[in-house]
Amino acid sequence: MPAHLLTEEQEAVQEIMGRFPQFRQLIDALDTPFESDARAIACGDIVARLRSLLDDPEPANVEPIAGASAMVETDDATTWQSFHPIFELLSAASEGTKLTAAGYLPPAIADRVADVLGLESFERSTGGESKMRDVFGLRTALQKAGLLRKTKGTLVLTNAGKSVLSNPGFLWNHLVTRMPPKPVEPRSRDFVAEGTLLVLLTAATAHGELDLSGAARAMTLSGWRIGDQDVDPYHLWNMDIWQAEILRSAGPREQPFWIAARIAPQAVWLARASLLSMPPVPLIGRR
């Protein structure tokens, strides 16, 4: 459509997409002419959340943490306190941790991480990491985040992991640059990439609770299915979206996450900084 024929609302959407082109394929899938009001509502919600990031980079009603609004080295003590479970796992792997024959953490270490995560008795198991989804999920997330790796049956730190463990303030910048999904080819769609964007956006604009029902509904309305089912919030926690595990681990854990999806201020700031760090022009195809 010629620019002079765009409505004010469409111009606003174009402006937002210019800053956040990573969302364009998802928005285009929702913003299809003659489709249902549900799609229009989902599209409008995403655009409104993105606009709020630009209008108010520092979220209301969320206490700031040191260095959270920019790419800077944060205070070591603040970072350690905010992401204690992450540092517990990094510390455990500092000298190399021999995994079990099945490839899991030794039960004693899995138990320590469960303690730091604040898991209730019914969320734990004498069977170790293989029976504790939260511990396994966080460990896997740290591997995908480039902080841990497996070599010859041993869990060790990557170079980035060593840097973070020796200087905890570096963790913030590392996560901010790693949390956004990798760019996809133009006019291509990717479930994990789009799901990750919506998880980050929901977290970045959350006010105390992280409700992924809207994100799951937007994925379904844009055409995604899991088998023959609509996308459910559960899928966004369990479909290789490792960023969700990092967000879950931030801050104090007052009660089981699946009972009340509380989100800590640290996670809100991390999600916002991650989205705002994304380049306004896609990297794919640039020279």
For residue 108, what is the domain's CATH number? 1.10.10
Q: What predicted TM-score, i.e. pTM, was given to this entire model?
A: 0.86
Q: What does the pLDDT look like over 215-225, one tens digit per residue?
A: 999 999 999 99
Residues 215, 234: Cα–Cα separation, whole Å: 11
DSSP H helices in 231-280:
233-238, 243-249, 265-276
Instruction: Name the band, by pLDDT with cuts 50, 70 and 90, for residue 78.
Output: low
Cα 147-82-276 angle, rounded to 5 deg: 70
Q: Are residues 201 and 264 in the same domain?
A: yes
Q: Are residues 35 and 118 in the same domain?
A: no
* H-helix or E-strand spanning residue 213: helix 213-221
The single residue listed with the structure tokens 């937007």 is 218
61-65, 78-82, 281-285: the lowest-pLDDT one: 61-65
What is the mean predicted confidence (pLDDT) over 68-86?
64
Residues 18, 105: Cα–Cα separation, whole Å: 44
Residues 218, 233: Cα–Cα separation, whole Å: 11
Compare 149 and 72 and report the one with higher pLDDT. 149
Residues 19, 15: Cα–Cα separation, whole Å: 7
- Structurally, how many domains does the chain consist of? 2
Q: Are residues 59 and 141 in the same domain?
A: no
Q: What does the pLDDT look like over 155-189, one tens digit per residue?
A: 999 999 999 999 988 898 999 999 999 888 878 89
Domain boundary residue, one of 109, 135, 168: 168
Q: Does residue 281 sit within a domain?
A: no
Inform me whether the pLDDT recorded for 260 exceeds 80. Answer: no
Amino acid letter, 40: A
Q: Are residues 163 and 200 in the same domain?
A: no
Q: Are residues 60 and 195 in the same domain?
A: yes
81-85, 156-160, 194-198, 242-246: the lowest-pLDDT one: 81-85
Q: Is the dihedral of CA 210, 212, 215, 217 positive or negative?
A: negative
The side-by-side arrangement of strands in the sheet containing 97-98 is: 97-98, 154-157, 148-151
Inform me whether the pLDDT recorded for 275 exceeds 80. Answer: yes
Q: Are residues 39 and 112 in the same domain?
A: no
What are the backbone dihedrals phi and psi of residue 88, each rounded to the nearest 5 degrees, phi first? -65, -45
Q: Does residue 183 sit within a domain?
A: no
Q: Which domain holds residue 90?
A: 76-168
